[in-house]
Amino acid sequence: MVATRALSAEARNPGRRESESAAALASRMPRLILEARRVSSLLAHGLHGRRRAGPGESFWQFRPFVTGEAAARIDWRRSARDDRLYVREREWEAAHNIWLWIDRSASMGFASDLATVPKIERALVLGLALADAFVEGGERVGLLGLTRATAARNIVERLAQALVADEAGLNQDLPPRAEPGRFDEAILVSDFLTPPERVAAAVREIAGRGSRGHLVVVVDPVEETFPFAGQAVLHDLESGLALDIGEAATWGAAYRERIAAHRAALSEIARGQGWTFTLHRTDRPASEAALRLMTLVAASGA
Amino acid sequence: MLGLTFAAPLALAALVGLPALWFLLRVTPPRPRRIAFPPLKLVADLMARRQTPARTPPWLLILRLAAAAALILAVSGPVWNPQGIGAGGGRSALLVLLDNGASAAHDWRARLAVAQDTIEGAARDGRPVAVLGSAEAAAAIEARTPAAALERLRALAPRPHFADRATLLPVLGAFLEKNPGAGLVWISDGVAGPEADAFTGALAKLAEAGGTVVTLLRADAPPALALTAAESGSKLTAKVLRAAPNGREAGTVRALDPRGLPLAEHDFAFPNGALAAEVPLEIPVELRNNISRLEVSGERSAGAVVLMDERGKRRRVGLVFGGTSDQAQPLLAPTYYLSRALQPFADVQEARGAKGTAESINQLLDNQVSVLVLADVGAMDERTTARVEKFVSEGGLLLRFAGPRLAAGNDPLVPVRLRRGGRNLGGTLSWDNPKTLAPFAPESPFAGLSAPADIGVRRQILAEPDGDLPARTWASLQDGTPIVTAETRGQGRVVLFHVTADTTWSNLPLSGLFIDMLRRVVALAGSAAPPTDGGPRPPAAILAPRLALDGFGALGSPPASAKAVAADYGDRATPEHPPGFYGPADGGIAVNALRPGDALAPLDLSKLTGARTGTLAGAETLDLRPALFTFALMLLALDTLAGLWLGGFLARGGLGRLRGRPAALVAVGLLLAPLLAPVPARAEEPAANRPNGIESALLTRLAYVITGDAAVDEASRAGLTGLTQMLASRTALEPGEPAGIDPAKDELAFYPLIYWPIAANRPQPGEQAIRRIDAFMRNGGTVLFDTRDGLTSRPGAAPTPEGAYLRKMLATLEVPELEPVPADHVLTKAFYLVDTFPGRYASGQTWVEALPPAGEGTERRPARAGDGVSPIIITGNDLAAAWAVGRRGEPLYPVVGGDQRQREMAFRGGVNIVMYTLTGNYKADQVHVPALLERLGQ
């Protein structure tokens, strides 16, 4: 018989353990993808590591002055050292932000015996690890509606602190209203246990300015398979709802139909906006979802 | 009549209701599980399609039905093999005769169980029952309700003496006459007792007359073992007895001392089929004298225990010392060496509270001593002399030691004629060296002992050289002068050591030879048994019971029915005289269940022809109720657990909960940690401060008591260090490093003077510390108590905390009368001439033991018997603080007082105190030297 447990509100905040697991997961992420992306000259925007001159802040190289250029571009300090004229070129940098949202509502604080970790823990680890990996790859990462996008080295700690400070987020099961930039990407990690219409509205809003996004649905295996039998009373974690379902085995069949429909609706929402849809079960390793998302982000940036 | 019967068969009808219960239980499902399920809000509209009634799982149903059935069965009271063995039929009375003599203890439980079954069977039949123990005193019996009989049965216990069943015959006869046709169940131990009895024959006749059916229940072979012991000469032989060969062929006999510690064990084995096995106990005589109890190991029965009394064992030796009996200092007592040398093999008695030699001798002779030791006793009055002479002629041994009084006196109780005075060997006024002993002559009782060469006799008394002197000489010096002489008088002997019993005349009492010589002398003493020849014997003393054996062979206080016995009682134990110890601990007698030479006989059943017989086994009635109730209860508990499990309450419990919380585990660990952590070892003290080291024994050291108050202890240590330095620089004494000691633990004998500062904030020393300090003071040590309150105490005012602390501590000590140090006390003259004993303060008073008042006409001599050193000195001046010096010799504490030389005077006082404790009253004599010289000059 499968047992389930629910976590308290405090346990749904990222702690040291989640931060460390996230860092460990991020460090296990293969660099190859990002490296590959970095060297690919096909990458137009958004990806870092241009290795070529362009608009940017940091020094890239001195090149000889070509006649016809604006005289203001000459770097006189360098040019004074010999007889030729030089132009200081800066590295091409483009702002490409990735916005994370991690659902921390009560329904996420749930784990069954079949899962290795609670959903919230998996979501936090996944989100923070992605943030770390992206920052490592040169992206800026921020929390949707909470922080600005930064590329700080200690991004995991920063995001974790921001999450802990955001107490209101413990009760929100949909992303906040925010409008990322056109070339930004949004990653929404949640169980999306809300009616599909509301999810669709939230996604539409975020994608309003054309930004791309990824829905990551974290589910407990129990929520997928409903392996219960015998007399049971279900009760909800958020609304305090309780439902006597009688014989659980028979009810389970109907439930599975319903939940499959829900998944289909979510998938449809994502497709409609050009987003991607990822279903991650907490009995699977976190790296699986992380890898997939890295690939998706890299692909969408291409 | 084997089989199953029910006490309340009607209750079985309830079993019919079980099918109804089946239906009821089927439709009562277990409580639904409660599952936390987040997706519920998505599917809340998804109602159960079909509300099929949940069924109770069949295994749970069976479990519950089984529990109900077990309960119903239990209530109906099933009994397996219900009746035991009934005796006779009908509703007539039943008499249960249960053997409970000394041989009954071995299988008592089995027979008690049989008796209980028999009575319970009678209860089911509704028969009145009477219970009779065969070893109980014969009293009229009557049949009562079985419940009362059970009460009576529970009160029965094995008695420590063998049953004399013949005394029961009148009671039995009366009962059978009153209840014709009554049944008689005799649950027997199968042992007839030490004397063959005619009980069975008489019982058969009674049964025949009364129409009684006798049922005899007994084990196949009486399993009991018994033990007797006989002492012949120096050999102690135990004998294990049994009534019939019973399969117990071997075992162990154990000898125990009075405290129950085993002294010896000896295996025994019955030679095939024999009824007795002899066990020679070969034990050294000292150990044998200590044996108080022999027992067959593992046989819990009074019959298998032999108690050994003092008769014919250790000689009782009475010690009398001729001088004043000043025993205040045990090490200096003149009989110290004697009693220590005699104690291993003899009971040493000294007269208690007697005044004078004659009274002591009379008291000891009243105590029936077999050896009378007179150490330096001079002439006695005529009555005493006559009594001692009678004691000797009746077989007593008189052992005398010489001494100044004997040398001066003239009395007939010596083996040889003595010269007045004695001779000195190796003294200051003699040319000779101390003489050692010549080898012992072969006819001497000491023959075979080897005399150590370092024995030196410095002084002895001499015998007149009579003709029979060589015959009476047991030992002599190298020059042939007798040192031990003896003479046979009547049946006894008089033995004289021509030296003292202490070390003033010779070092013989310090040698191991002394013990051997005394052992041989005492072994010559006859027993103290009264003479058997002619004349009316005086009535023996009556001895009250002191300890008695119970039926299982355990010693306890005697029962109220135990009566005193005469001191010459030698019979078996009886109901009035249960086995045990009678009389005082050092002179009582032991009464045993069997006499030496007794044997056990099996019960003679040939005359009991009409009786039914049975064994103890196979008659067990099994009441099934407890088992059924337990079974039902366990099923119900299982059902509860199953219900909880089905309801999902057991999924995560107990350790599972704890596993998720490392913090809880850590907390538990922290709680347990102090229990498991070893006690931290104390840091090793520096070698110089360690008490009891070899240094302390080799070197004179001052000592202070560690109070536990760090400041006080540091001051004590520094103070005694300062005094030690001062002593070394000014006197011939060079003490070692001062030692800090704990009087409760450390050996105090090494230290002549112990400085004890009083720290009122510390707890009082324990009882053990007080006792050790008491012994220290008694043995000649001096304790210097310093209350350190010279500044605050006022005469007549309430005592300071330190003063109160000291008073409380001394309340349990034996403290002599005290007085302020008088001006002529030797303490003021021991090294320096001082008037007061200032310390850090000068105002406090110093107290010492009060001197005996000076007699008129005599010179005032501050001296007393013994060492004459006051065992206690009390001051309030904080001496240690005045003496305390630092590492460079600088004083550590300022002195309080007007005198510039106060610190110097404090040191002088300290030097005087140390000198006083070390030299005693020697200086008291020296203070007279000027007067003596002056007198010589005239």
CATH number for the domain formed by residue range(s) B689-852+861-930:
3.40.50.12140
* B276-281 and B235-242 strand pairing: antiparallel
φ, ψ of residue A143 in degrees (nearest 5): -95, 135
Hey, what are B659's tokens? 């596993």
Beta bridge partners of B493: B397, B488
Residues of A in contact with B52 (CB under 8 A): 246-247, 250
Domain B319-523 has CATH 3.40.50.880: yes
A243 shares a domain with A138: yes
Q: By the CB < 8 Å criterion, does B43 face chain A?
A: yes
DSSP state of B911: H
Q: What is the mean pLDDT of residues B612-619?
A: 68
Of B565, B583, B567, which is closest to residue B575 (Cα–Cα)?
B565
Give the gap in angstroms from C-alpha B667 to the nearest C-alpha of chain A: 20
Residues of B in contact with A265 (CB under 8 A): none
Q: Which range has highest mean pLDDT (A178-182, B516-520, B678-682)?
A: B516-520
Condensed to tens digits (0 to 9), the pLDDT of residues B528-579 reads 444 344 334 445 667 888 888 888 888 888 888 888 888 778 788 888 888 8
How far is residue B916's CA from residue B910's CA, in Å, rounded to a whole number? 10
- C-beta neighbour count of B780 within 10 angstroms: 19
Domain assignment of residue A179, given as a range: 4-38+94-301
Give the gap in angstroms from C-alpha B620 to the nearest C-alpha of chain A: 49
Hey, what are B525's tokens? 């003493």
Query: Does the pLDDT of residue B866 top 50, yes or no?
Result: no
Nearest CA in chain A to B49: A251
A141 shares a domain with A121: yes
Query: Does the pLDDT of residue B677 top 60, yes or no?
Result: no
**Residue A100 and residue A155 in contact, taking contact as beta carbons nearer than 8 Å:** no
**Contact across the interface for B42 and A239, Cβ inside 8 Å:** no
Residues of A in contact with B41 (CB under 8 A): 107, 193-194, 236, 238-239, 241
Angle, vertex CA B918, rays to CA B912 and CA B922, nearest 5: 80
What pLDDT score was predicted for residue B147?
A: 86
- C-beta neighbour count of B756 within 10 angstroms: 25
DSSP state of B764: P
A101 shares a domain with A203: yes
How far is residue B106's CA from residue B355's CA, in Å, rounded to a whole number? 54
A215 shares a domain with A73: no
- Residue B929's pLDDT band, with cuts at 50, 70 and 90, is confident
Which comes out higher in pLDDT, residue A262 or B275?
Answer: A262
Q: Round the average pLDDT of chain A to a whole number and report it.
A: 80
- Residue B300's pLDDT band, with cuts at 50, 70 and 90, is confident
- Residue A46's pLDDT band, with cuts at 50, 70 and 90, is very low
A134 shares a domain with A205: yes
Distance of CA A75 to the CA centre of its chain: 42
B107-110: long-range contacts at Cβ-Cβ below 8 A with a sequence spacing of 24 or more? Answer: B107/B189, B107/B219, B107/B223, B107/B224, B107/B616, B108/B158, B108/B551, B110/B219, B110/B616
A20 shares a domain with A132: yes
The complex's ipTM works out to 0.72
Hey, what are A162's tokens? 């921001």
What pLDDT score was predicted for residue A39?
A: 36
A188 shares a domain with A70: no
Q: Which of A36-45, B232-241, B653-662 is predicted with the least confidence, judged by mean pLDDT?
A: A36-45
- Residue A38's pLDDT band, with cuts at 50, 70 and 90, is very low
**Count of CB pairs separated by less than 8 Å, A with B:** 110
**Contact across the interface for B29 and A231, Cβ inside 8 Å:** yes
- Residue B51's pLDDT band, with cuts at 50, 70 and 90, is low
Hey, what are B18's tokens? 């079980």
A208 shares a domain with A285: yes
**Residue B85 and residue B118 in contact, taking contact as beta carbons nearer than 8 Å:** yes
Condensed to tens digits (0 to 9), the pLDDT of residues B796-855 reads 777 888 888 888 888 877 777 888 888 778 888 888 888 889 988 888 888 888 776 654
Condensed to tens digits (0 to 9), the pLDDT of residues B181-220 reads 788 888 888 887 666 567 888 888 888 777 777 787 777 7
**Contact across the interface for A231 and B31, Cβ inside 8 Å:** yes
- Residue B268 belongs to what H/E stretch? strand B262-269
Q: What is the mean pLDDT of residues B261-268?
A: 87
Alpha-carbon distances of B897 from B249, B836, B889, B900, B907, rounded to whole Å: 89, 13, 21, 8, 15
Q: By the CB < 8 Å criterion, does B643 face chain A?
A: no
Hey, what are A215's tokens? 């829905």
On the CB side of B204, CA atoms within 13 Å amount to: 12
Of B603, B606, B607, which is closest to residue B218 (Cα–Cα)?
B603
Q: Return the percentage of chain B with pLDDT > 90, whole number.
A: 7
Grouping H, G, I as helix, E, B as strand and the rest as coil, residue B398 is strand
How far is residue A90's CA from residue B46's CA, in Å, rounded to a whole number? 62
How far is residue A221's CA from residue A112's CA, in Å, rounded to a whole number? 8
* Exposure class string for B19-51: b at 16+ Cβ within 10 A, else e: eeeeeebeeebbebbebbbbbbbbbeeeeeeee
In a domain, A57, yes or no: yes
**Contact across the interface for B33 and A106, Cβ inside 8 Å:** no
Distance of CA B773 to the CA centre of its chain: 24
Nearest CA in chain B to A235: B36
Condensed to tens digits (0 to 9), the pLDDT of residues B411-434 reads 788 888 888 767 777 666 666 777
How far is residue B723's CA from residue B716's CA, in Å, rounded to a whole number? 10
Strand order in the sheet with B94-98: B129-133, B94-98, B183-188, B213-218, B612-614
B197 contact partners, CB below 8 Å, separation of at least 6: B164, B165, B166
Nearest-by-Cβ selection for B36 from A237, A246, A250 = A237
How far is residue B291's CA from residue B311's CA, in Å, rounded to a whole number? 12
CA-based torsion, A204, A205, A210, A213: positive or negative: negative
How far is residue B870's CA from residue A169's CA, in Å, rounded to a whole number? 89
**Residue B94 and residue B123 in contact, taking contact as beta carbons nearer than 8 Å:** no
In a domain, A193, yes or no: yes
Structural domain total, chain A: 2
Helices vs. strands in chain B: H and E counts, helices first? 24, 40
* A212-219 and A276-281 strand pairing: parallel
How far is residue B548's CA from residue B575's CA, in Å, rounded to a whole number? 12
Condensed to tens digits (0 to 9), the pLDDT of residues A246-260 reads 777 788 888 888 899
Q: Which of A192-201, B284-293, B695-704, B878-887 is predicted with the least confidence, judged by mean pLDDT?
A: B284-293
Give the gap in angstroms from C-alpha A194 to the nearest C-alpha of chain B: 7
How far is residue B912's CA from residue B905's CA, in Å, rounded to a whole number? 10
What pLDDT score was predicted for residue A116?
A: 82
- Residue B116's pLDDT band, with cuts at 50, 70 and 90, is confident
Give the gap in angstroms from C-alpha A242 to the nearest C-alpha of chain B: 8
* B542-543 and B565-566 strand pairing: antiparallel
B857 burial class (0-12, 13-18, 19+ CB within 10 angstroms)? exposed
Beta strands in A66-136, from DSSP E residues, in sequence order: 86-90, 97-102, 110-112
Chain B residues 96-135 with CB within 8 Å of chain A: none
A270 shares a domain with A123: yes
What pLDDT score was predicted for residue B620?
A: 59
Grouping H, G, I as helix, E, B as strand and the rest as coil, residue B223 is coil
Beta bridge partners of B347: B316
DSSP state of B131: E
Query: Does the pLDDT of residue A13 top 80, yes or no?
Result: no
In a domain, A286, yes or no: yes
What pLDDT score was predicted for residue B427?
A: 62
DSSP state of B579: S
**Contact across the interface for A193 and B38, Cβ inside 8 Å:** yes
How far is residue A158's CA from residue A151's CA, in Å, rounded to a whole number? 11
Give the gap in angstroms from C-alpha A190 to the nearest C-alpha of chain B: 12
Instruction: Look at the pTM and tell me if it is higher than 0.90.
Output: no
In a domain, A194, yes or no: yes
What pLDDT score was predicted for residue B302?
A: 86
A198 shares a domain with A112: yes
Beta bridge partners of A246: A232
* B262-269 and B276-281 strand pairing: unpaired
**Residue B779 and residue B329 in contact, taking contact as beta carbons nearer than 8 Å:** yes
Of B14, B5, B129, which is closest to residue B70 (Cα–Cα)?
B14
A82 shares a domain with A18: no
A194 shares a domain with A69: no
- C-beta neighbour count of B617 within 10 angstroms: 11
B709 contact partners, CB below 8 Å, separation of at least 6: B759, B761, B762
Distance of CA B482 to the CA centre of its chain: 44
Grouping H, G, I as helix, E, B as strand and the rest as coil, residue B729 is helix
Same fold, B94-222+602-620 and B319-523: yes
Residue for token digits 């000779």? B432
* CATH, residue A275: 3.40.50
Of A283, A194, A188, which is closest to residue A238 (Cα–Cα)?
A194
Of B599, B602, B540, which is closest to residue B227 (Cα–Cα)?
B599
Of A95, A103, A194, which is closest to residue A143 (Cα–Cα)?
A103
B694 burial class (0-12, 13-18, 19+ CB within 10 angstroms)? exposed
Query: Does the pLDDT of residue B168 top 90, yes or no?
Result: no
In a domain, A43, yes or no: no
- C-beta neighbour count of A5 within 10 angstroms: 14
Give the gap in angstroms from C-alpha A186 to the nearest C-alpha of chain B: 24
**Residue B297 and residue B253 in contact, taking contact as beta carbons nearer than 8 Å:** yes
Of A121, A127, A120, which is closest to residue A155 (Cα–Cα)?
A127
Hey, what are B190's tokens? 């199968």
Angle, vertex CA B929, rays to CA B928 and CA B932, nearest 5: 90
Alpha-helical runs (H) found in B731-800: 767-778
Query: Does the pLDDT of residue A184 top 50, yes or no?
Result: yes
Domain coordinates of chain B in residue numbers?
94-222+602-620, 225-312+542-599, 319-523, 651-678, 689-852+861-930
**Angle at which helices A119-136 and A286-301 cross, to 10°:** 40
Q: By the CB < 8 Å criterion, does B652 face chain A?
A: yes
Superfamily of domain covering B94-222+602-620: von Willebrand factor, type A domain (3.40.50.410)
